[in-house]
Amino acid sequence: MCSYSTLAEFPSSIGGRLQPLASDVNDFVSGFDDVPTISSPPLEERPIKRSRVTPTDNESNNTGSYKRTGTVGRLSELPLMPLDILYEVLGHLPPSDLLSLSRMNKAFRYVIMSRRSLFLWAASLRGCGAPPCPEDMSAPAWAHLLYGGAYCYSCGAKPVTKILFSLRRRACKSCMASHLLCPSQVPQEHRNMIPYENEYFGNSIHRSRCSNNRHWWDVDVEAFCAELDSLKRLAGDADNTTLDVEATVSEFLARKKKVVADIGEHALICSAWVKNRNACRSTLLSDVRAKRFEDIKSRFLELGYSEKDVVQLRLHPEVRTSKPMSERVWQRIAPLLLPRVNSARDQRLVREGGEHYRQRRALVADAYAKVLRPLSPLRLALSPTFADFLCGNQALADAVALSADRDNLYLPKLIYEAICKFCPELEARAVERTRQSFPLQHRYMNAQIVVNQLLGFTCLPTIAIVRRNLRL
């Protein structure tokens, strides 16, 4: 058992390396031993670091003082906490945070990578809903594969979001094209005994045109062949008479075949988990984008804009990003969005102005048609058209051309006044057109006008008829 009560009590040498007690050596597990890492140059090839130069008094006086920002020192007391409390805190962390802490310093690595801390990894993976850890990998290595970073295990290229679960690695397209092997490149009798990825990756990865989508990693194939050859040499050694060559090889191949079958079943579970996680993440990001758009829309509505002016901002890069909205973000993106909103508002006003103009013109035309309705067909044919009527009344034409909705309240009154004013002119124009076009009808019309004047009423509609037809 560990003899330390806090993290700060772990001893370290001058160079910063931990010196664990002999009783703790058996409990230590290097969880990253089976994690693929980027190869680094040998020590003799690495460049020598430049020694730090202490500035002189004059140089230190010339340089301005650097003021630290943020929350500095909040976690400084963490190493002084008792280990049982530290374990309780670490048990609530996600796998990515556990990985980051294990890389912080050797004391944290010693605690988190200990075999006694496997319950931390199990609880962390279970809390994230991750697939169960396979038997051929340790819990830290499995967490590293899922949450350790989206980079290629061969060249370190980023980002590599796709995980090859059957091959236990992440690989970029370039490395997949270089390392993946087609069925024609793998011995047929060994294809079901080496882990393979049963997925189509594109024609650029296929070395030959084959109908099978299985692909093997060249390193795995070489390792399997080397292990099989070593086993055959060991079993076929002349001095080794206790091993049966055929039985040993058959047992080895059967074990490998079962491992590959288990890996395939586990890969199906992992693929379903990835699909579900991507769907949940897509839904979450959609909700965040919708909330961001609603916040931006509400801010523009408070400034007096219409909802129609803001709806076209939904596809703007600053609006459709999946980040929450804040006052600081609004101060930054408002100058970028205002020109588009103003342009949309101007277009809307022009569009709505034309629609309002057509509505007001139809209202005046309907009122003029009601005035001409009681006239005889002859009088109706000789009456001015609606365009002539509208051109002869400048005030009415100006009211129709206005774009404000509130002017529609005064439009019926202007129509009534214009028609009442236009009635005598309408009668005079009808008489003049009748005299020029139809002399006989003109004499008859004059006689009818005289008779009507003797009887006390006119031929054209009176003001009462106009009022009744317009329903004023």
138-148 pLDDT tens trace: 999 999 999 99
| CB atoms near residue 234 (< 10 Å) | 12
> Residue 136, exposed/middle/buried by CB under 10 A (0-12, 13-18, 19+)?
middle
Topology, domain 1-36+77-148? Monooxygenase (1.20.1280)
Is the per-residue pLDDT at 227 higher than 60? yes
**What confidence score (pLDDT) does residue 243 get?**
59
Q: Where are the domains of the chain?
A: 1-36+77-148, 352-470
**What confidence score (pLDDT) does residue 371 get?**
73
More confident residue, 334 or 76: 334
305-343 pLDDT tens trace: 989 899 889 889 999 998 989 999 999 999 999 999 999
Read off the pLDDT band of 165 (50, 70, 90). Answer: very high
Give the Cα separation of 470 and 31 in Å (integer): 91
Is the per-residue pLDDT at 154 higher than 50? yes
**What confidence score (pLDDT) does residue 241 get?**
56
Cite the beta strand spans of 171-211 per DSSP E. Answer: 180-181, 196-198
244-281 pLDDT tens trace: 777 888 888 999 999 999 999 999 999 999 999 999 99
Least confident of 51-60, 357-366, 455-464: 455-464
What single letter denotes the amino acid at residue 339?
P
Is the per-residue pLDDT at 457 higher than 90? no
Give the Cα separation of 443 and 431 in Å (integer): 10
Least confident of 151-155, 224-228, 437-441: 437-441
Kindly report whether the global pTM for this prediction surpasses the value 0.85. Answer: no
Could you tell me which residues come within 8 angstroms of residue 151 by beta carbon, excluding any fewer than 6 positions away? 38, 157, 158, 159, 160, 170
% of the chain residues with pLDDT over 70: 61
The rounded mean pLDDT for the chain is: 75
DSSP 176: H
- C-alpha to C-alpha distances, 415 to 230, 309, 324, 358, 411, nearest whole angstrom: 106, 34, 54, 16, 6
